[in-house]
A and B are shown apart, each in its own frame.
Chain A
Amino acid sequence: MNTLAFLESILTGQLLVSGLVIVLLVHVILGTVAYMIYLERKICAYVQDRIGPNRVGFDFGLPALSFLKGALGLGQPLADGLKLFLKEDYTPTRVDRLMFTLAPAIIIVPALMGFVVIPWGGVWDMPSFTLLGVAVEGGPVHVTGAAINVGVVYLLAIGSLGVYGVTLGGWASNNKYSFLGGLRATAQMISYEIPLGLSLMAVLLVVGSLVPERIVGFQAREGWLMLSQPLAGVLFFVSILAEANRAPFDNAEAEQELVGGYHTEYSSMRWAMYFLAEYAHMITSCAFFTLLFLGGYHLPLVPWLRPEDTSIAGALLKFGVFFGKVVGLICAMMVIRWTIPRLRYDQIMIMAWQVVIPLSLGVVVGTSVAVHLGWTGILPMLAMNGVVLALLLAAQPFLDKGVRTRALPNARIRLYGSRFSPMPGERVVTSPSDPTALEDRPYEGTARMI
């Protein structure tokens, strides 16, 4: 009898719903990750005017299933996953073996843990029932992975743990390219964590609560925060792009200069886990953005999508709407990846420290002043955003002076005798004179020869 009483005290409706949501969502998210890779390849193909994956269906080579052949290439993720399992999982001889094995696990665990606090389904008024002889009391429960009251801070904390996997993977590989990629990724991720935290604070200052459910409730009442805090929203989106190492901030794996970056030495599933983690991180970040700025599951004019609705149909619909918004954001991220070229590493860091961080600090200061004065409506907040932006743009010339010494490398470090800085009295010929060179560049050659 004692164990039954203990079970009844532990087995609350909230815990049951949380466990169910987690078990379901892990599978939903892993499946989504697999199909996100397919989606990314399709979007890339359409951007580049190709067709993309369209061969692998679900026929498995069986004649009986030949009607499933092709199927838009939807079997591609399954084939890729099976292929990765069947590859040799090789460890090079000079790596740090323990860390080399642990690093992919360290990166994927936080990536899979973040989404539990997202309020996917709002609140459900659960009826009482009996499960295997244990009476479960009904009542309102949160349809979310874990209803903890510091949800937003938990999300931020878990999200920033992803740095360790990247750093360790780069370091343990004992490869100069991996090491450089890991260092760059670390510096970039920790730099963009500051504007992430600060623009999140601009939201918290308006809402006044760390509970995810209340952030959605606030936006359902007062309007989405993307409308009243557009500057913070844009900064947040830029920061999650940089945090997830997505293009145009994917310097950690810039294949033209660093081979594969921190995962150059990895193969088989350990390599795949880096990719799974990147895509899972994208889902979590987009859900975070949706929660903070796009109203979570809320859509105007739909009665089931209000926070006050506690029916099971409402919870399911809320889940669908939330996930739809997340998928839309993910598609936006993918289009960004295939349309905007990669920034140079120094440009990324200069942008972080000289533009994004001062701007987000300004947003926090402006928001706190506006909150103190009671101007929390959409229009006063928009005005505040404009003032902060104008002030920082006005301050830019004064900040720049004497601080930014970005001279051209060739002007700074003189390589005497080169064609850029000839020796005194030396005459430098920059036009080609060799006959083969002239043949290669006929235009340049003929223009200079006259």
Chain B
Amino acid sequence: MHPGPLAASDLASYLPVGLILLMAVGFAAANIFLSRIIGPSRPGGVVKGQTYESGMNPVGTARKRFNVRFYLIAMVFLVFDVEIVFLYPWAATFPNLSPGTDEGLVWLGRIFFFLFTTVVAYLYGFRKGVFKFD
């Protein structure tokens, strides 16, 4: 079915990833340094150093408390993300079982139980109002 030699368990197949990492980091660094060298550098006073907040003089810093909703979203995201990570190996192997067997049914049941725990967490968050944005 598949012509290619994909013996990719060896680390050599990850060498190109290292190459592109080097190139990307080099591109970013070169951009930052080149624009710093080529571009002008004019001295600025107090006003130039201020942050731009629609022309107002900035009041205080931006390091303030912010809405707790962002934390809630991050926490629920973690639940789902970990679930997804655990599901990938299953998703890649499950269709290779022959369909309709008892073995497949056991796999399906286990994964559905795992999904069900996440759905319970989701519904709990739903009822608690985590997903209300008004």
Contact = CB atoms under 8 A, between A and B. Distances in A.
B50 A92 contact: yes
A300 B119 CA distance: 40
Nearest to A87: B39
Contact of B34 (A19, A187, A269, A364): A269
Interface in A346-373: 346, 349-350, 353-354, 357-358, 361, 364-365, 368-369, 371-373
B28 interface: yes
B113 interface: no
A108 B2 contact: no
Contact of B32 (A104, A140, A198): A104
Contact of A374 (B15, B53, B66, B99): B99
Given A123-B3, A357-B80, A145 B100 contact: no
A148 B14 contact: yes
Interface in A1-50: 10, 12, 14-15, 18-19, 22-23, 26, 30
Interface stretch (A72-80, A237-245, A402-410, A420-428): A402-410
A105 B133 contact: no
Given A361-B115, A407-B134, A92 B51 contact: yes
A139 B42 CA distance: 59
Contacts of A265: 51-52
A349 B24 contact: no
Interface in A88-102: 88-90, 92-95, 101
Interface range for A: 35 or more
A88 B32 CA distance: 12
Contacts of A125: 3
A85 interface: yes
Given A90-B48, A345-B133, A176 B53 contact: yes
B61 to A, nearest CB: 6
Contact of B39 (A12, A85, A206, A214): A85
A113 B21 contact: yes
Given A109-B21, A194-B84, A354-B131, A210 B92 contact: yes
Contacts of A211: 6
B24 to A, nearest CB: 4
Nearest to A370: B99
Contacts of A197: 81, 84
Nearest to B7: A149
Interface string A360-394: 01001100110111101000000000000000000
A346 B133 CA distance: 5
B87 interface: yes
B133 A350 contact: yes
Interface string B96-113: 100110001100100110
Contact of B127 (A85, A369, A376, A403): A403
Contacts of B20: 22, 26, 112-113, 116, 145-146
A86 B134 CA distance: 44
Given A18-B16, A89-B36, A269-B31, A191 B23 contact: no
Contacts, number: 256
A175 B96 contact: no
A204 interface: yes
A296 interface: no
Interface string B40-82: 1110100011111110001001111010011001101100110
A123 to B, nearest CB: 5
Given A349-B73, A403-B126, A259 B52 contact: yes
By DSSP majority rule, is chain B's interface helix, strand, loop, or mixed? helix
A95 B58 CA distance: 13
A88 B13 contact: no
A113 B21 CA distance: 7
Contacts of B130: 353
Contacts of B74: 187, 190
Interface in A136-175: 139-142, 145-149, 153-154, 171, 173-175
Nearest to A115: B20
Given A88-B42, A93-B49, A175-B51, A371 B95 contact: yes
A85 B38 contact: yes
A273 interface: yes
Contacts of A369: 108
Contact of A147 (B8, B77, B91): B8
A374 B19 CA distance: 42
A139 B73 contact: no
A117 to B, nearest CB: 9
A400 B126 CA distance: 10
Interface in A173-209: 173-179, 183, 186-187, 190-191, 193-194, 197-198, 201, 204-209
27 contacts: A85-B39, A89-B32, A89-B36, A93-B49, A94-B49, A105-B25, A112-B20, A113-B20, A123-B3, A140-B3, A146-B16, A149-B6, A176-B58, A183-B66, A186-B70, A190-B77, A194-B84, A208-B92, A208-B96, A213-B2, A217-B2, A259-B53, A353-B131, A357-B80, A369-B108, A372-B100, A372-B104
Given A14-B5, A140-B5, A357-B122, 5 more contacts: A86-B39, A94-B51, A145-B16, A358-B122, A406-B132
The 3 closest A-B pairs by CB, nearest first: A374-B99, A93-B49, A346-B133
